[in-house]
Structure 1
């Protein structure tokens, strides 16, 4: 058991043993009709120790009635009124009371009576004196979620890497076997180049996503012109647009600034424009427009592609999710582009949404808070010679 927890339990045990003795004496006296005072609660000394525990705690009596608890325990949804809400917690308290042995367990519990949202808590239970049980609860919800996301990500990456790596291996063997057939060698070499390019794009997206998750925008951010970002994102997609005879049409300059990592939001918008180009028919137009409303900078990217069904719209920002896996492979998509977009703008205190109708194209919209104008003026003054 954690030494810090043992120390806390030991101190509380000393305080509460005395309380337990008084409690037993008063019960005995009450049975003989000598006193009418109510059963005592935890003394001030124990309350002071509990106040510095740094986690959710509940102290229950012999009937699992709540004697004392801190706000965290209520926030976790462990208590309602003066009772433990969950049978799992009552059971662990009963076992400790019966066996006198410290128990530890992790539970996923509903946070409200209506179900829905749940919380993952790691609970340590120990006896305090003869009458009380202490339950210490750590909120492990975010840790558990992050671990699940990481495991899922690793599994997905492994699966996605198998396809291009396997294809490269097979194509290499085919080229070797067809060494005397010049036409076959050219055909296999061309396919090999495509798979190698796809593998390179996938690895690059994985690196970018990993880098995004470790970047603190608050610290690294600076004043960034949204017009400059849009222009740079369009420039980075010019060649791919020209290859499909697609016109990228930009709206008028906005003249607004945001607090951001310029490279990150450029990458986010570049991915949106690239996605629009990939799924648009040749000879169509991709529109990029910006506007400022109530202190929020909004940038929209509109295409004339096939559109996205309502079911798919709910999942397109998930890692490796593809509306049409076969088509995505044909266009060279990695399945990470929109996930990167979501991470970029969420990290900047913004968001990304999609409007789409099958057969009518799609519009992806990102929003960012405008940088405070007084901050911009101050920075301009500092930059003057």
Structure 2
């Protein structure tokens, strides 16, 4: 065999072996790097990750020095974790106790929502040992549930207190009436007072029923096209009797008499009647209450203006709270329940609007309701948006209230 040919074959074989060796070395390095990464990667107990992914709760896993090994997106959204650090010392105290005692702890905390602002979140946290070196924190957001329970408890307490007053008065008057059966003048006087307390009790019960009805109202599903002019006319008609008893004139005017909104006509009538009755209740005799309607920039604004004593800035911040009264003694004397403006706020909010108050002591008050106006004045039959409701104008934007001189005559 030709020595030259043998040399060429040997060279090619050597080259192939060299290339193969280099490739094998690189593959080995890559595999070793992967093994090293896996060793560095925190190893959770088998199946833990899958279980946590279907729990539906925020979770944080920390190691033996409280470094965050893994955390769910919700844990970051709640502000429990920032980067690789547990933010709140209350949670770190829990992990320390769990790690020390080997027990399962469950506590509820009110924690700051973030580094800025006064927002807070109420979370129920459960902490337990996970594997040999980790501690698991499970967090459930209970902010809305807790606040709803507080509102409900306050409401029940307030209702109980408010009902005791007329019920107790009726009971005492009945006893006095029984003891004065031979005195015709006293019987007549006590009977009149009983009638007044019974009327007040009936109004209070009706307002409570209205609030209860509001809780279950679904405007998006039950609403319809509402002509604001008709609603205001109905509300004014229902308020004529108390206005006439004080010789108060109800004046309706404005530029938006053909405006339409989407909602519940009965609830809107109740809201505006409460505003008008409130204005009548706190207005002196022989004065006027103005009701102005205006349509502009996709919003319908209805303003109710009285000529009463006005409301202080401190009271303006609370007038829409349930059972809050600017002048409790006067409100009870005039038959007020403290629920009227709260009902107004509920109705307006459920219709995607806002209600605001402008007032100065000695210059009366103006309550203004703003609602999104329907874009189509005569929508085609069956024309609906994806939410089941006809299209309406732009969303309500907060703005300052300006006292409308044209309303108050």
Query: How would you bin the TM-score normalised by the shorter chain?
Result: 0.7 to 0.9
Report the Cα distance in structure 2 between the residues aligned to 1:279 and 1:290, rounded to whole angstroms: 21
Q: What does residue 11 of structure 1 align with?
A: none
Query: 2:281 and 2:325 mapped to 1: Cα distance?
Result: 13
SS in 1 for 2:292: strand
Instruction: Indicate yes or no: 2:171 matched with 1:165.
Output: no
Count of residue correspondences:
348
- How much does 1:197 deviate? 0.4
Q: Secondary structure at the match of 1:190?
A: helix
Deviations 1:184-204 (A, max 9, x none): 111111111101100111111
* Structure 1 Cα separation of the partners of residues 317 and 151 of structure 2: 18
Structure 1 spans left out of the alignment, 5+ residues = 1-33
1:279 to 263, 268, 282: 282
CA offset digits 1:284-330 (Å, max 9, x no partner): 11111111222111111011011000000001111111100110011
Q: Report whether the alignment pairs 1:372 with 2:375.
A: yes
Cα deviation, 1:107-129, whole Å, max 9, x if unaligned, reads 11111234622111011112211
Instruction: Name the residue aligned to 1:217.
Output: 219
The alpha-carbon deviation at position 165 of structure 1 amounts to 0.7
Task: Report the CA distance shift for 1:93/1:226 in structure 2 as closer, same or farther (over 3 A).
Answer: same
Cα distance between partner residues in 2 of 1:48 and 1:251: 65
1:271–1:338: 8 Å Cα contact kept in structure 2?
yes
Q: Which residue of 1 aligns with 2:40?
A: 39
Aligned to 2:293: 290
2:397 — aligned with what? none
1:251 aligns to what SS in structure 2? strand
Q: How far apart in 2 are the matches of 1:48 and 1:116? A: 36
Deviation at 1:135, TM superposition (A): 1.1
The Cα of 1:264 is off from its aligned counterpart by: 0.5
Q: 2:201 matched to 1:199?
A: yes
Secondary structure of the residue that 1:344 maps to in structure 2?
A: helix
Contact 1:42 1:68 in 2 (8 A): no
1:53-104 CA-to-partner distances (Å, cap 9, x unmatched) read: 2121111111111111122111211112211111111111122222222221
Does the 8 Å contact 1:42/1:67 carry over to 2?
Answer: no
What is the alpha-carbon distance in structure 1 between the residues aligned to residue 108 and residue 88 of structure 2?
13
Equivalent position of 1:21 in the other structure: none
Q: CA deviation at 1:48?
A: 4.5
CA distance, structure 2, for counterparts of residue 267 and residue 153 of structure 1: 20
Query: For 1:63 and 1:367, how far apart are their aligned partners in 2?
Result: 55
Superposed, 1:228-239 pairs within 5 Å as 228-239=230-241
> What SS is found at the alignment partner of 1:322?
coil
Larger Rg: 2
Gaps of 5+ in 2: 1-34, 385-409
TM-score, scaled relative to structure 2: 0.81
Aligned match for 1:57, one of 37, 56, 59:
59
Does the alignment pair 1:312 with 2:315?
Answer: yes
Residue aligned with 1:346, SS? helix
Kindly provide the CA deviation profile for residues 327-350 of structure 1, in whole angstroms up to 9, marking residues without a partner as x. 001110001000111111111111
Partner Cα separation in structure 1 for residue 383 and residue 264 of structure 2 = 21
Equivalent position of 2:178 in the other structure: 176
- Shift in alpha-carbon separation, 1:136–1:179, aligned structure 2, 3 A: same
CA RMSD of aligned residues (A): 2.1
Match of residue 95 from structure 2: 93
Change (3 A) 1:96 1:380: closer
CA deviation vs aligned residue, 1:170-228 (integer Å, no higher than 9, x gap): 11111111111111111111111101100111111111111101111111111111111
CA distance in 2, matches of 1:204, 1:147: 23
SS at match of 2:247: coil
1:249/1:287 contact within 8 Å kept: yes
2:107 to 105, 123, 132: 105
Structural mapping, 1:255-270, within 5 Å: 255-270=258-273
Q: Are residue 329 (structure 1) and residue 332 (structure 2) matched?
A: yes
Question: What TM-score, normalized by structure 1, do the two folds share?
Answer: 0.86
2:364 is the alignment partner of 1:361 = yes
